[in-house]
Structure 1
C-alpha cells in the first residue's frame, strides 16, 4: 500500500494530522491534505488519487457531497479510486443524501484507528483483486467486463455479489435486455435484490414495455420503501407517458426520503409547474436554489425559473407578503449577474420577470419600461425567442393586460410545440389559472368544501362553495366542470331552472380555451355535448 496516493480533506487540522498518522502506520506516505472543498477540486485536477478521505463538513464553500459530485462529473475520479466519507453528521436527510452519492465507504466520527485501517485494507484488497474489471468498466469494454465478472463468480470470490451487479450492468449496456431479465430472475429465486429489480425495470422499458416497467417499479418500492432510485425512474417513465401528476407524486416520495439531491428537486419544479401546482414549484425551487450554492449543478436557469415562479405567485396580490416575495425575486435576479456570465438570452428573461414583478406591485411605468427593453432585444435578436422564452413573453403580455396578444402567442406555442408535452402542459396550466398563490389556495379550499358537500348529497351548498371558488379562480377547468356536474345533478333531481342552466353555460364559456392538447379535454367535450344537447334552446 506504500505506493498509494491519498488525499485527506477535513476542516480541522487535528483531524487531518490524526488520519495522516494512521496512514503512516500502514506505510502510506504519499499523502496530501486540504481543509476545504476548493482544495479537493484543485488537488484532484492535478493528481490522480487512489484514495480520498473526505469529511462532509468542509467549512465555507463546498461540502463533501458537492465535492464528490464535482470530481465525478469532471472525470477526476478514476474507476479504480476509492472515496471514503468521514462525518459526524447525525441528520437522517444528510446521511441519506451522502449514501445516494455512492461513496465506497462511510465512516462515522468518532472512529478508532483499527476501524479506519480495516476499511482502507478492505478497499485496497478489493481494488487489487478487481483492477482489471474496473479498468474495463472505465474503458466501456462491456464484453471484457462480462467475461472477467463470470470468472470471479465461478470462483465464488469475496466479491461475487459486486461482480453479479457489474455483469448485469454490462449486459444492459450491451443492449442484451433478454439476457438481463433472465440473469436477474435467476439471482432472485430466493430473495428480491433492489439493484436487480431496478435493472429489470430498465430492461423492460428498453424492450418497449413501459407499463410492465412501471408495474415492476411499483412492486419494487412496495418491498424497498426507501429506494429513491426506483421513485426517480418511476417519475421518468410516468412523465414520458404524459402522466405528470403521477410523476410528481413519485418525486415527492423520493424527496421525503432524501431531500438534498439538487437534480431531483429541479425535476420536481418542472413537473409541478406542468401540473399547475405553483405552491410545490415555489417550495422546490427555493430548495433547488439553496442546494445550488457551491454546486457544479448551479445554473442561471435555476435562478431565472425561481424568479419567474415568484413573479407568477404574486399576480394581482399587493399584500405585505407579496411585496416581500417581490423583493425576493429582485434579489434572485441580481444574483445572476454576480454568479454567471452575461448573456443576452438571460438578460431578456430577466427583463420579462422584472416586468411581471413590477406589474404585480402596481409599478406600471417600470413594468412598461422592462417590457419595452425585452421587446427591443427581441427585435434586434429574434433568434433569442426560443419556445421557453416565448412562453414567458406570453405570460408577461397576459399579466400586463395585453390578453389578446398573449392568447395568440399561447396558441402559437401549443401548435408549434405539440410534441413537447411538458411545455404544452405548462402553457395550459397558466391559462387555466393565471392567478397568484393566495387566490389559488382560497379557490382550492372552497372547491374542496364544495366537493365535500357534493359527497354528502348537499348539492345547493356545494354549488354555493364552488361559485365562491370560481370568484378566486375564474377559468380553472376542474373547478368549472365541477360546477357544471353539480348543476346537472341538481337539475336531474329537481328539474331545470334558469339559474342552474345559466351557471352551467357560464362555467362552460369560462373554459372555452381547452383544446385537444389539454389533459381534461375529454371530460370537457363530454360535458359540452351533454349541455348543448339537453339545455341549449
Structure 2
C-alpha cells in the first residue's frame, strides 16, 4: 500500500497538466469558476466552458478534450448522463481522455444511470482542489495504461487488444485485475471462450468478483446452456443486487428459453434500480407488450419517451409501442396521435413503413377492419414497388398484420425470407411457425420453413464447395450473389468474407477485394455484434499487407485473376439494419 501511494505521488509530479485541453460543463457559473480556478492552480491554460448539454455537445464536436468535468444536472435539455452517452456513441473523445462526472446527486438511480455509460470517476460535490487533483491524477494514469488497448478496441482489433493487455500486465501490477477483466471480455468477443473462462476461473480462486461470475454465465449462455446461465446470473444478483448487467443477461436467458413472463419480471426489477436507460425501458415495454401486460408496457414506453427526449438513443419504438398500447385499450384517437408524433419526430426513411404497420394493427385491434385492410393493401403495394426487405422484426410484424387482414401470399413470402436469412436459428424459426399457426397455416408453414431452410443451406454450401475444390474465382462470385439474395444471413456473410480472405492469401493482396471483405465483416458487427468469427477474420484481414512488388508477368497474372471477381459487382452489403 505504501508503494502504491509512492507511485501515485510520482505520477502526480510527472503529469504535465498545463498543455492539456479541458471542458467544464455546469449550468451554474459559480461552480464553473471554482473548477476553473482549481485547474489553473494545477497549471492548466486551455479551459473551455459550457452552461448546458447542448452547448457542451457543440464544443465536443469541435475539440478533442483531454479532460471533461461534467455536472449531472444541467437544467433544460440534455443532462450530464446524456452528454456522456452521446459522446461515447459518436466517439467524440479519444481513448486517453478523462471524463469526470460531477454531481450533488447521491441517489442510486442517478449514480447507476451515469455509471452505465462508464465515466472514469463520479465526484460528489462539494469538490476540494485536493480531491480533484487526486482523482484526476489517478484516473489519468490509468487511462494511459489502457490507451493503446482502447484504441485497438475502437478499431475492432480485439485480438491485438488482448495481446496488449498481456504486455501491460507485465509492467502494471497495480491495474492487473482491470486488465484481466478487459482481456477476458476481449477474448469473448474474439471467439476464444475457453481462454476467457480460464481467466474468470483464475480470478475467482482469489476472490468472488461479480463480473467474473457474470462472465462465466455469458459463456454458458453462448453455449446454449440457458438454464445454467440463468442460475449464475441469479446468484450474482443475490450477492450484488446493483449489478445491473446480470439482470439484463438473465432476461435474455429467460427469453431464449421462451419464458417471457419471467424475462419481463427481471427487466422490471432492473428498470426500478436504474430507470434512466432508454434501451432498458424500451426492452421492458416490448417484453410487457409481448406477454399482454398493457399497464406495464404503457408505463415503460411513457418513461422511455420522457428520458429519451434529449438522448442520442431516442428511437421510434416507444412512440409506436404507445400507439399499440392505446389500440389494445381501444383508444384509437390517442393511438393515432402517437403515430403522428412519431412521424414528426423521425425521418420518413426511419419511420414510414413501421408507422403504417402500426396504424394497420391499431385499426385491426380497435375493430376498424376496413381501415386495417386499407393499410394492408398499401403495405402490399409498397412491397411490390421495393424489392429490398426490412429487417427480421419488421418483416414478422408486417406478416402478422397482412395475415390478419386476409392477405396470404405476401406475408408467407416475408416469413420465408426471414427463415432464409436465419436458416440455422431455431428460435427464429419457432417464432415464424407461431405466426403461421395463428394464421391457420400450420402445416403449410412448416413445409415453407423447411423448403426455405434448405434453399439457404444449398446456396451457402455451393459456395463453400467451390472454395474447398479450389475454384476461388467462382466461389467469390457465387458468395457475392448469395449476399445479394440473403443480405442478413450471418453464415453466408462470414463464409463470403472467409472465401475472399482465402483468395487474397493464395492469389495475392488486392485492395478492392480486401475492402469488400472488411465491409462485409463490419456489416456483420453492425447487425449482430459480438459474433465469435468476427474478430478472427478481422485479424486475418489486418495481418495481410501487400507483398513486395511482383515481376511484370506475375503482376499481370494476379491482376487477371482479381479482375474476374472485381468487375463492378452489385452492391455487396446492404446498409440497412438487419
What is the rounded CA distance, in whole Å, between the counterparts of 2:444 and 2:213 in structure 1?
A: 37
- For the 8 Å contact 2:278–2:313, the answer to whether it is kept is yes
Paired position in structure 1 for 2:343: 337
Instruction: Give the alignment partner of residue 328 of structure 2, picking from 296, 300, 312.
Output: 312
Shift of 1:415: 8.4
Paired position in structure 2 for 1:266: 282
1:352 equivalent in alignment to 2:360? yes
Shift of 1:184: 1.4
1:387 equivalent in alignment to 2:396? yes
Q: Give the stretch that moved more between structures: 12-21 or 241-250.
A: 241-250
- For the 8 Å contact 2:357–2:379, the answer to whether it is kept is no
Give TM-score scaled by structure 1 length. 0.68
What is the rounded CA distance, in whole Å, between the counterparts of 2:433 and 2:360 in structure 1?
A: 16
Q: Give the stretch that moved more between structures: 281-290 or 209-218.
A: 209-218
- For the 8 Å contact 1:351–1:374, the answer to whether it is kept is no
Shift of 1:106: 0.5
Q: Give the stretch that moved more between structures: 2-11 or 133-142.
A: 133-142
* Aligned residue runs from structure 1 range 163-312, under 5 A: 163-312=179-328
Paired position in structure 2 for 1:487: none
Per-residue displacement from partner, 1:101-154 (whole Å, max 9, x unpaired)?
211110112222221222112122223344344434444444544444334434
Paired position in structure 2 for 1:52: 68
- For the 8 Å contact 1:276–1:426, the answer to whether it is kept is no
Instruction: Give the alignment partner of residue 90 of structure 2, picking from 74, 94, 101.
Output: 74
Pair 1:328–1:409, CA change in 2 (3 A): same
* Aligned residue runs from structure 1 range 12-91, under 5 A: 12-91=28-107
What is the rounded CA distance, in whole Å, between the counterparts of 1:332 and 1:134 in structure 2?
A: 41
What is the rounded CA distance, in whole Å, between the counterparts of 2:200 and 2:360 in structure 1?
A: 52
Shift of 1:333: 2.3
Task: State the structure with more CA Rg.
Answer: 1
SS at match of 2:348: coil
Paired position in structure 1 for 2:484: none
Pair 1:354–1:92, CA change in 2 (3 A): same
* Aligned residue runs from structure 1 range 302-451, under 5 A: 302-314=318-330, 326-343=332-349, 344-346=352-354, 348-349=356-357, 351-352=359-360, 355=363, 359=366, 368=370, 372=374, 375-376=377-378, 378-379=380-381, 382=384, 383=386, 386-392=395-401, 397=405, 405=406
SS at match of 1:188: helix
Instruction: Give the alignment partner of residue 108 of structure 2, picking from 92, 103, 109.
Output: 92
Give TM-score scaled by structure 2 length. 0.63
Shift of 1:25: 0.8
Q: Give the stretch that moved more between structures: 288-297 or 203-212.
A: 203-212
Per-residue displacement from partner, 1:450-506 (whole Å, max 9, x unpaired)?
xxxxxxxxxxxxxxxxxxxxxxxxxxxxxxxxxxxxxxxxxxxxxxxxxxxxxxxxx
Shift of 1:53: 1.0
RMSD over aligned CA atoms reads 3.6
Pair 1:420–1:408, CA change in 2 (3 A): farther
Q: Which runs of 5+ in 2 are unaligned?
A: 1-16, 420-424, 446-578
SS at match of 1:159: helix
- For the 8 Å contact 1:84–1:106, the answer to whether it is kept is yes
Pair 1:18–1:420, CA change in 2 (3 A): farther
What is the rounded CA distance, in whole Å, between the counterparts of 2:76 and 2:150 in structure 1?
A: 34
Per-residue displacement from partner, 1:360-411 (whole Å, max 9, x unpaired)?
6xxx6xx85676366346436545894313434556x4xxxxxxx3899999
- For the 8 Å contact 2:95–2:143, the answer to whether it is kept is no
Paired position in structure 1 for 2:482: none
**How many residue pairs get matched?**
416
Pair 1:206–1:33, CA change in 2 (3 A): same
Shift of 1:229: 0.2
Pair 1:148–1:304, CA change in 2 (3 A): closer
Pair 1:174–1:394, CA change in 2 (3 A): closer
Shift of 1:52: 1.1
Shift of 1:307: 0.6
What is the rounded CA distance, in whole Å, between the counterparts of 2:348 and 2:160 in structure 1?
A: 47
What is the rounded CA distance, in whole Å, between the counterparts of 1:32 and 1:283 in structure 2?
A: 40
What is the rounded CA distance, in whole Å, between the counterparts of 1:161 and 1:291 in structure 2?
A: 35
- For the 8 Å contact 2:402–2:408, the answer to whether it is kept is no
1:158 equivalent in alignment to 2:160? no
Shift of 1:192: 0.8
Shift of 1:23: 0.9
- For the 8 Å contact 1:388–1:423, the answer to whether it is kept is no
Q: Give the stretch that moved more between structures: 124-133 or 160-169.
A: 124-133
What is the rounded CA distance, in whole Å, between the counterparts of 1:130 and 1:257 in structure 2?
A: 30
Shift of 1:232: 0.6
What is the rounded CA distance, in whole Å, between the counterparts of 1:28 and 1:280 in structure 2?
A: 50
Q: Give the stretch that moved more between structures: 2-11 or 126-135.
A: 126-135
What is the rounded CA distance, in whole Å, between the counterparts of 1:96 and 1:515 in structure 2?
A: 49
